[in-house]
Amino acid sequence: MDFDQEIIEALSQRLGFLKFFVFLVFLIIFVRLFYLQVVKGDYFFDLSENNRIKIQEIPAPRGVIYDRNGRVLANNTPSFDVSLLYAGIKQLNGILPLLSEILNLDPEEIIKKVKNSLYLPRFKPIKIKLDVNRKELSGIEFHKLDLPNVVVEFFPKRNYPLKEDLAHVLGYLGEINESELARLEYSSYTPGDFLGKAGIEKVLENPLKGRSGWLQFEVDSLGRKKGVLGSVDPVPGEDLFLTIDLGLQGFADQALGEKNGTVIAMDPNTGEILAFVSHPSFDPNLFSRGISSNDWSALIKNLFHPLTNKGIQGLYPPGSLFKIVTAIAGLEDGKITPETKIFCNGFFNFGNRPYRCWKKGGHGTLNLFDAIEQSCDVYFYQVGHLVGVDALAYYAKLFGLGSPTGLILENEKGGLVPTSKWKEKTFHIPWQKGETLSCAVGQGFYVATPLQMLVLISTIANGGKVYTPSLVKKLENEHGTILKNFKFNDVHQLPISPASINIVRESLRRVVQGENGTAKIARVAGIEVAGKTGTAQVVGLPPGEARSKLPSYLQDHAWFFAFAPFNDPKIAVVVLVEHGGFGSVAAAPIARDVIKYYLENKGS
Amino acid sequence: MLSTFFLFDRRLITRFDLSLFFIALLIVGFGIFNLYSASVSVHAVGAVYKKQVYWLFLGIVLLFLGSFLNYSYLEQFGYFLYFFVMFLLVLVLFQGKFISGSRRWLSLGLFNIQPSEFVKLSLIIVLSKWFKDKFDTRGFSLSSLSMPGCFLIIPFFLIFLQPDLGSALLLVLIFFSLVFFVRVRFRTLFILFFCAFLFFPLSWNYLLKDYQKDRVVHFLNPSLDPLGKGYQVLQSKIAIGSGKFFGKGYLKGTQSQLNFVPEKYTDFVFSVFCEEWGFAGALVLVFFYIGLLFRFLFIASSAKNSFGLLLGYGITALFFWQIIINIGMALGLLPTVGITLPLFSYGGSSLAISLFCVGVMINIHIQKHIF
């Protein structure tokens, strides 16, 4: 036997003892576990959540939302809730009459609230009435001794000083519902918590919400505080800076006035949204401590859908705005040059029917610049016919039509870019050549959101760069330290020749600045504006019937989009007025005023 | 050449200790599951458990490396490894990341490593090698222990300077576990005890910082100031006790979800588990650990050579002390020191090294059959 084996022999003798030692130590652990969890389990359980120790939530203030210059868009104001502690359920019947009188609530309703809250964690007081007024509050304080286990809780209530303005972007809060509670991402919430339900409040819920603090204190048998056992400070939510310019936003909201529709403005060099108006709107303050059923049904039943964000959820035929895409397609595919001349006599016969120009007598002979300047339909029917539906679709998609722009808000629609394949697949009938003509002037199957059209005009303005529109600049903590900078999102240069873009840009300048332009009304003194009007048909009409005789809800939608100054674009705007009629009349003046205001007050 | 470096014989692969492998992975699995619960209420949801998953992948690679890389290389390169780790310890004192009052981490760009985790294994390796080479059947004398003593003292002070009292203490425990295992003479034993007897009052006055003294005092009487120093132990005991027999349910532990449990990813991770899974869950987890340790002891006792035996025994001691101290302090049986629960607590270096150790144990088991 060698020496190594001798060592092994010598050492192995001790291993038996070691096993015994390990066993003994673990036995102590088992005994201790048994003692803490089984023998004293009830005691510690009580300590953790029942009568001896109370846990009180200290709500975290939600992050403040500012505009790009640090002006408040959403903040918090103090409010008070009246709640019942879990321990008070047994005596509820005794205090019910008094409680219902002070709070002006039906006793049945109070009982219902308590019953619905029985599945809450026991440390959470049961909310009886949220956001009580001064009179109710003093009533509760006055009868404090008669209302054991009824507590008044402070709550930082969400406040939107702009009220209806910008509501679709900011969104609103609401109480967490059962299906949300079941989702994993909300597992840190408990029933009764409020969270973002729409808009920025929803998509940036996580940084905005902060973290509740907790106070754990021991109480005696009468519920009096004996001493604090532990506390965790609340962490305020992060402050949010949007790209919105509050001054411009308010101005744009006023400019659209009582009309339904949308006004969106963007910096074409960054994709930052400067103003975002959608009418009709709603007051998000109504939601801040739970919306009443009356208010809610009024919103839901409103025929003009105030909860819908028309800028990203409204789908409209792009109308003449789309002629830009048709022109680019014709130029890029070599089907036309800027000097290609076409004669317009007021209609274009194709197949068995005439396709009419908006101008009854016709425009005469036009080149591309003239055709865009005067928005001649016949010219673009012919360009569309030369290019074909699928090439149109290719260029439309390049500009981002047919899919959501990628704005941070939820439920953005993508619109529709028809192709011959799409039609075969959807309707099982082949594409008709005549349909291409309608598409070339933005009617037919084409639909798009106003935001998509804004991206289109911005892309033309900046020479062919497609930006993903952004709404959020940065997140800061309460000390002003920047936590996250939202850089300009994706941007890509289109594979389109600068020459084509410049031709279209020049044409758009003539639309406003030219002698025969359709949007001369949009001129701003001292600044060159470029833009395009459009009209989105709500219903088709047989020849000879005047649109003005239609009821207002069947009137066409008015479009206008523009950018300025022409040589160094600082702002791009899209305006859509629902049932507003001609774009030049209803929409262009609004865009003009917005541009004028912005260029005069920029940076204010 | 390659086949001697790695053990590629098919019979040896079939000797791979699957039971140990699965026990270790089950504990890690429980741990990640538990870390998810501990981190879900926190701002950056789940970052902690995700990081742990990434480290698990690296750890499994290390486990297989440990299983198939002939452990005699650990003996051969033992001193080299030891000095390399000492170098890292010195580096961490100058270049280390300063997090909540101590310098423990070296930043490698993509991630941080904690060199004190590597010290534990390298100390076991050099001590095993030394005791095997110099083995004295009559027991070691005090003078012959001066060299192993140096192996201990150098990293002990380097870690103490960080400061990381838990890891430093662990090195001492590993040292004495091995010393008593290889047997010392009676007179040596007497002197060692005498020194320890002197050491405690001296270290109390000169070595320990105030916060460390506080911990000992408040361990002795936690209700002294529940919001202050005894707070951690009290909250941990409330968490564990309130779990009762079946626990409050996954993700439903109020103590941990509301952040009352301190250091809930590392030192008090066991409290989080006990609150949500109760006595029943704690029994299962502790039985896994017992299974792991007994398997370790069995493998060590049947090692083919004395280095393997000492190495296996040292690793067992390392795991044993970490488990006992971590659980003991969560249960309020021992004072609070920063020692994590191996395979279960959050910590990349700790998880990776622990899984490597499991690999080495599997290696010792496999090698038994090579002659």
The minimal CB distance from B251 to the residues A6, A30, A187 is found for: A187
The band of B197, judged by pLDDT with boundaries at 50, 70 and 90, is: confident
Is A50 inside any structural domain? no
pLDDT score recorded for residue A73: 95
**Interface touch B286/A26, C-beta < 8 Å:** yes
Q: What is the DSSP letter of A159?
A: E
> What are residue A484's DSSP bridge partners?
A475
Is A557 inside any structural domain? yes
Q: Which residue of B has its CA nearest to A208?
A: B43
For residue B31, give the H/E element and its range. Answer: helix B18-39
pLDDT per residue as tens digits for the range A319-346: 999 999 999 999 999 999 999 999 999 8
Average pLDDT, chain B: 85
In chain B, what percentage of residues exceed pLDDT 70?
88
- Write the CA distances from A331 to A325, A380, A458, integer angstroms: 10, 12, 19
The pLDDT of residue B62 is above 70? yes
Q: Are residues A231 and A256 in the same domain?
A: no
**Residue environment code for A575-596, b if the CB has 16+ CB neighbours within 10 A, otherwise e:** bbbbbbbbbbbbbbbbbbbbbb
Is A45 inside any structural domain? no
Contacts of A33 in chain B (CB under 8 A): 240, 274, 279, 282-283, 286, 331
**Interface touch B240/A48, C-beta < 8 Å:** no
Q: What is the DSSP letter of B184?
A: B
**C-alpha span between A218 and A50 (Å, rounded):** 10
Contacts of A36 in chain B (CB under 8 A): 237, 240-241, 331-332
> DSSP per residue over B55-123, as a string?
HHHHHHHHHHHHHHB-THHHHHTHHHHHHHHHHHHHHHHHH-EEETTEEEEEE-SS-EE-HHHHHHHHH
**Interface touch A47/B282, C-beta < 8 Å:** no
The minimal CB distance from A187 to the residues B40, B279, B282 is found for: B40
**Interface touch A232/B282, C-beta < 8 Å:** no
- Write the CA distances from B322 to A218, A336, B232, B326, B357, integer angstroms: 34, 80, 19, 6, 14
The band of A545, judged by pLDDT with boundaries at 50, 70 and 90, is: low
Q: State the smallest CA–CA distance between residue B107 and chain A in angstroms.
A: 22
- A44-53, A460-469, B18-27: segment of lowest average pLDDT: A44-53
pLDDT score recorded for residue B170: 93
pLDDT score recorded for residue B225: 46
Name residues 24-53 of chain A within 8 A of B (Cβ). Answer: 25-26, 28-30, 32-34, 36-38, 40-45, 47-49
**Interface touch A22/B237, C-beta < 8 Å:** no
Range of the domain at A34: 3-39
Closest by CA position to A594, among listed A254, A216, A286, A109: A254
Taking the Cβ of residue A161 and every Cβ of chain B, the question of whether any pair is shorter than 8 Å is answered with: no
For residue B146, give the H/E element and its range. Answer: helix B146-160
Q: State the smallest CA–CA distance between residue A125 and chain B in angstroms.
A: 15
The band of A567, judged by pLDDT with boundaries at 50, 70 and 90, is: very high
Is A507 inside any structural domain? yes
**Interface touch A41/B43, C-beta < 8 Å:** no
Contacts of B47 in chain A (CB under 8 A): none
Mean pLDDT calculated for residue range B168-173: 91
- Decide which of B222 and A446 is more confident: A446
Contacts of B331 in chain A (CB under 8 A): 29, 32-33, 36
Contacts of A22 in chain B (CB under 8 A): 290, 293-294, 297, 320
Taking the Cβ of residue A488 and every Cβ of chain B, the question of whether any pair is shorter than 8 Å is answered with: no
The residue out of A240, A268, A284 marking a domain boundary is: A240
The pLDDT of residue A132 is above 60? yes
Contacts of B42 in chain A (CB under 8 A): 211
**C-alpha span between B360 and B2 (Å, rounded):** 18
pLDDT score recorded for residue A134: 87
**C-alpha span between A217 and A226 (Å, rounded):** 7
The pair of three-digit structure tokens given for residue A553, joined into one six-digit string: 């809800």
Is A548 inside any structural domain? yes
Taking the Cβ of residue A4 and every Cβ of chain B, the question of whether any pair is shorter than 8 Å is answered with: yes
Catalytic residue among A83, A281, A288, A320: A320
The minimal CB distance from B294 to the residues A3, A19, A230 is found for: A19
B305 three-state secondary structure: coil
**C-alpha span between B274 and B264 (Å, rounded):** 12
In chain A, what percentage of residues exceed pLDDT 70?
93
Residue A354 CB neighbour total at 10 angstroms: 13
CA Rg, chain B, in Å? Answer: 21
pLDDT score recorded for residue A150: 86
**C-alpha span between A95 and A93 (Å, rounded):** 6
| Single-letter amino acid, residue B121 | L
**Interface touch A37/B279, C-beta < 8 Å:** yes
Angle, helices B306-330/B165-182, rounded to nearest 10 degrees: 140
**C-alpha span between A469 and A268 (Å, rounded):** 9
The pair of three-digit structure tokens given for residue A255, joined into one six-digit string: 């400019």
**Interface touch B259/A214, C-beta < 8 Å:** yes
Cα angle: A258, vertex A264, A267; to 5 degrees:
150
**Interface touch B274/A37, C-beta < 8 Å:** yes
For residue B318, which phi and psi values (nearest 5 degrees)?
A: -55, -50
The minimal CB distance from B241 to the residues A7, A29, A36 is found for: A36
The band of A62, judged by pLDDT with boundaries at 50, 70 and 90, is: very high
**Interface touch B244/A38, C-beta < 8 Å:** yes
The minimal CB distance from B254 to the residues A3, A41, A48 is found for: A48
The pair of three-digit structure tokens given for residue A467, joined into one six-digit string: 């930006």
Q: Which residue of A has its CA nearest to B230?
A: A229
Number of inter-chain CB pairs under 8 A, A vs B: 145
Is A49 inside any structural domain? no
- Strand ranges, E, within B262-314: none
Average pLDDT, chain A: 88
Q: What is the CATH number of the domain that holds A476?
A: 3.40.710.10
Mean pLDDT calculated for residue range B31-47: 75
The minimal CB distance from A41 to the residues B43, B244, B257 is found for: B244
Strands A342-344, A273-279: pairing kind:
unpaired
Q: Are residues A373 and A475 in the same domain?
A: yes
The pair of three-digit structure tokens given for residue A152, joined into one six-digit string: 């008044």
Closest by CA position to B48, among listed B59, B33, B62: B33
pLDDT per residue as tens digits for the range A477-488: 888 888 888 876
Q: What is the CATH number of the domain that holds A89?
A: 3.90.1310.10
Q: Are residues A203 and A276 in the same domain?
A: no
Contacts of A29 in chain B (CB under 8 A): 286, 324, 327-328, 331, 333
Q: Are residues A303 and A225 in the same domain?
A: no
Contacts of A235 in chain B (CB under 8 A): 43
Q: Are residues A68 and A8 in the same domain?
A: no
pLDDT per residue as tens digits for the range A238-273: 999 999 999 999 999 999 999 999 999 999 999 999
Q: Are residues A201 and A230 in the same domain?
A: yes
Q: Are residues A62 and A204 in the same domain?
A: yes
The pLDDT of residue B33 is above 50? yes
pLDDT per residue as tens digits for the range B110-131: 778 899 999 999 999 999 999 9
pLDDT score recorded for residue A1: 46
pLDDT score recorded for residue B100: 64
Cα angle: A359, vertex A360, A361; to 5 degrees:
100
Name residues 92-151 of chain A within 8 A of B (Cβ). Answer: 121, 123
pLDDT per residue as tens digits for the range B88-114: 999 998 888 777 667 788 887 777 889
The minimal CB distance from B259 to the residues A40, A227, A232 is found for: A232
Q: Are residues A299 and A235 in the same domain?
A: no
Q: Which residue of A has its CA nearest to B183?
A: A11
The residue out of A221, A240, A259 marking a domain boundary is: A240
The band of A105, judged by pLDDT with boundaries at 50, 70 and 90, is: confident
> What are residue A116's DSSP bridge partners?
none
What ipTM did this prediction achieve?
0.89
**Interface touch A38/B231, C-beta < 8 Å:** no
pLDDT score recorded for residue A123: 59
The band of A604, judged by pLDDT with boundaries at 50, 70 and 90, is: very low
- Write the CA distances from B363 to B19, B71, B293, integer angstroms: 13, 7, 16
The band of B42, judged by pLDDT with boundaries at 50, 70 and 90, is: low
Decide if A276 contacts A249 (C-beta within 8 A).
yes
Mean pLDDT calculated for residue range A110-133: 77
The pLDDT of residue B226 is above 50? no
**Does the pTM of the predicted model rise above 0.90?**
no
pLDDT per residue as tens digits for the range B325-354: 999 999 989 888 889 999 999 988 999 999
Q: What is the DSSP letter of A237?
A: P
Decide if A417 contacts A447 (C-beta within 8 A).
no
The band of B46, judged by pLDDT with boundaries at 50, 70 and 90, is: low
Is A48 inside any structural domain? no
Q: Which residue of A has its CA nearest to B333?
A: A32
**Interface touch B242/A232, C-beta < 8 Å:** no
**Interface touch A11/B182, C-beta < 8 Å:** yes
Judge residue A299's burial from the number of C-beta atoms within 10 Å of its C-beta, 0-12 exposed, 13-18 middle, 19 or more buried: middle
Mean pLDDT calculated for residue range A48-77: 83
The pLDDT of residue B309 is above 80? yes
Q: Are residues A297 and A151 in the same domain?
A: no
Chain B interface test: which of A1, A48, A228, A475 (most B C-beta within 10 Å): A48
**Interface touch A18/B297, C-beta < 8 Å:** yes
The band of B154, judged by pLDDT with boundaries at 50, 70 and 90, is: very high
The band of A489, judged by pLDDT with boundaries at 50, 70 and 90, is: low
- Write the CA distances from A240 to A166, A473, A475, integer angstroms: 15, 8, 5
Q: Are residues A446 and A542 in the same domain?
A: yes
For residue A228, which phi and psi values (nearest 5 degrees)?
A: -85, 130
**Interface touch B244/A42, C-beta < 8 Å:** yes
A48 is catalytic: no
The residue out of A216, A240, A264 marking a domain boundary is: A240
The structure tokens 């106003």 sit at A450
**C-alpha span between A237 and A177 (Å, rounded):** 21
Judge residue B56's burial from the number of C-beta atoms within 10 Å of its C-beta, 0-12 exposed, 13-18 middle, 19 or more buried: buried
Q: Which residues contact B80 (CB under 8 A, 6 or more apart)?
A: none
The minimal CB distance from B41 to the residues A32, A188, A216 is found for: A188
The minimal CB distance from A32 to the residues B43, B235, B331 is found for: B331
Q: Are residues A255 and A274 in the same domain?
A: yes
**Interface touch A41/B245, C-beta < 8 Å:** yes
Mean pLDDT calculated for residue range A554-573: 93
- Write the CA distances from A567 to A461, A529, B284, B356, integer angstroms: 9, 9, 75, 66
Tally of domains within chain A: 3
Q: Are residues A483 and A567 in the same domain?
A: yes
Q: State the smallest CA–CA distance between residue A183 and chain B in angstroms.
A: 12
Is A236 inside any structural domain? yes
